[in-house]
Structure 1
């Protein structure tokens, strides 16, 4: 049974088409991976089917009674609420029923006879609903999901306004999973999750009885949880049965078949054109030439498969620094309170270090402190000689009105327009995206603009805070290659072991330094 049907959707922004005559169906129990390169319209599609965007053409049809849950990372949390309060909001309809039942109980003291029987029956019905919905196990459910996503370690009585961006995302995801919607829509849910919490979410989705649509660039995760792939490319949507690896195999076969068909047709066209050219002037053969011309005119041309332009990343290397990049003496990081024990660590020239650990333990704070962007809570940092850092920050202003071209040009005003366009194209941004405002670019496209800016500066130390978030598979592979080839020093915060484990020299876990119980 189809729970969602999308019929002949077309949509675009300005003169840029995102989808052309696209159709889609979601069957009961299907676990769908929705994949494609950055900027192809994956998040736009979710916004269309949830009604946040109205398509230019086509229809979106949901089955009756479907409850949709959408993990939207732009959702805000109400200040003053604790994590537990937000998670209990997932059951607000059940709490409302309990309140109604209590009011019925109060009324029963003042009535008798038929009215009393009617109230007893209504109370019994509500009681049955509460019991069948697991109302009296709500706290246990909250604890299970919260601990699975690492929120228990943070403390469920912590107020949400004190949480990091990654922690807020975990709270929103936990609330969504507790609501148990008929359809889950998940847009890159693993971006802020650590390995053990990805493992928990993997098991949850594997056992999830209802349908979900998942946008993700995490291949290992996709392979474990999906059984259908929808691939968006060149404004089209194609369905494949199986996981991501099955998709890759079938996609390559399809491309090869299309390329062979294109070449065969081109050979046939060449033969027809040659015959027409040689015979159209001769009276005896003019009829055959005209016949072949009609055949040529009616021929439906096969389009040559287009290769998607891959980004190319490289980092300019500055002069060689001294032996030590930085050395800390009893360094404690934090804002209004300390996040770590006193740290005595050093980063040496040529080291490539991955910084790992749960959200909220201070990974980003550590990077900013080492760069001098925020002061040490206690202790001090000594920087080595000739250290020239290049910094990739995790989060930027989401309301940036600059176009991608303006964003780069403002930072490098001496560049010609050709040089700016060339730099952005190298990072994988097409002409249509270069003139788009930063706030309308996808998360992956925004990351590519920021990486492009970083590539324009000479540096001997790269400080990277979650650079793989939102990047598509090709971009991640190219970035990994560039970091392997960089001869300088790297300090990288990343939650994807498969991205860094075969090239870093050291791994630092902030969990070993934290004041918190993890």
Structure 2
């Protein structure tokens, strides 16, 4: 079982916090979509789960990731150059002596891969985007993983390949965590959403875990934001009315104090007492303002196309 406890991810360059107090347990049957704007640390989280050494040059990691007995398969956004120059056949059949041909042919059917592709003598570099994804998935599944991590697997795929990928994710018997900006893929495949945001001008990380379908999550999120905004606006409006009334009383008492005759000490004392009461009222209103419902802070872009900000390079 994959369990993450109190995970924090800091960028070493500027100590910016990408993820704070992140807790999550991956359970059987989970198909988890990691969503959020570019640069919020989705790919970084996948790499932290798979192999911390992949990000240790630029990320400080705190917290615990328990993955004992898990065999984790990781599909990166881009293959390394040295792997691109390997023949397809050699990439898939690393050790022919122990190669499981029964599993191999089962996976060819499951992934809708032509046998010709699997035995191809060409280098991986010469394959199409869809073929590269299929080859990588086949390679991963031949190792009998217990968890799959897929980083934007639908990038640069044609429609046929996307349909095959969608079918694979939905039918997979093992848990999968995948990063995607493809709303259709997310809606059709994910049963859990992890939404990573950067609020307050990219200075405050926030994450939301929802064990619901994507569109349902969006609807609930929008309703919560709207409800909070209504409450915050109403509270602010009511307090503004109180403050307006308070300022008028304050100005009236202050003006009376300036105009009171020194020959009338009783009136002066009464006005002083009244000003004390008015100031106490003002302090109560200040306290009330501190406790107002805060207007919700959120990233507006959450759909298929996100704002591209060069906070983290793609794939990090």
Q: When the two structures are superposed, what TM-score results if normalisation uses the length of structure 1?
A: 0.47
1:83 partnered with 2:88: yes
Pair 1:290–1:226, CA change in 2 (3 A): same
Q: Map 1:38-437 to 2 at 5 A.
A: 38-50=38-50, 51=52, 52-54=54-56, 56=60, 58-76=62-80, 77-78=82-83, 81-89=86-94, 92=95, 135=100, 137-141=102-106, 143-144=108-109, 148=112, 150=113, 152-154=115-117, 156-164=119-127, 166=129, 167-234=131-198, 235-274=205-244, 276-279=246-249, 283-284=273-274, 285-286=277-278, 288-293=280-285, 295-296=287-288, 298-299=290-291, 302-306=294-298, 308=300, 428=307, 433=310
Residues 239 and 285 in structure 2, CA contact (< 8 A), matched pair in contact too: no
Pair 1:49–1:224, CA change in 2 (3 A): same
Provide, for residues 436-468 of structure 1, a one-character-per-residue CA deviation record: whole Å limited to 9, x for no partner: 6xxx53379xxxxxxxxxxxxxxxxxxxxxxxx
The CA RMSD measured in Å over matched residues stands at 3.5
Structure 1 residue runs of 5 or longer lacking an equivalent are 99-133, 314-426, 445-518
Pair 1:152–1:217, CA change in 2 (3 A): farther
SS at match of 2:208: strand
Residues 276 and 292 in structure 1, CA contact (< 8 A), matched pair in contact too: no
Provide, for residues 315-371 of structure 1, a one-character-per-residue CA deviation record: whole Å limited to 9, x for no partner: xxxxxxxxxxxxxxxxxxxxxxxxxxxxxxxxxxxxxxxxxxxxxxxxxxxxxxxxx
**How far is the alpha carbon of 1:275 from its aligned partner?**
5.1
**In 2, distance between residues paired with 1:252 and 1:204?**
31
**How far is the alpha carbon of 1:70 from its aligned partner?**
0.9
**In 1, distance between residues paired with 2:67 and 2:87?**
35
**In 2, distance between residues paired with 1:139 and 1:310?**
38
**How far is the alpha carbon of 1:135 from its aligned partner?**
3.5
Match of 1:392 in 2: none
If asked which structure has higher relative contact order (CA below 8 Å, sep 6+), I would say 2
Pair 1:193–1:272, CA change in 2 (3 A): same
SS at match of 2:142: helix
SS at match of 1:44: helix
Residues 301 and 307 in structure 2, CA contact (< 8 A), matched pair in contact too: yes
Match of 1:479 in 2: none
Match of 1:36 in 2: 36
| Deviation >6 Å, runs of 4+ | none
Residues 231 and 238 in structure 1, CA contact (< 8 A), matched pair in contact too: yes
**In 1, distance between residues paired with 2:291 and 2:32?**
36
Pair 1:279–1:79, CA change in 2 (3 A): closer
SS at match of 2:153: coil
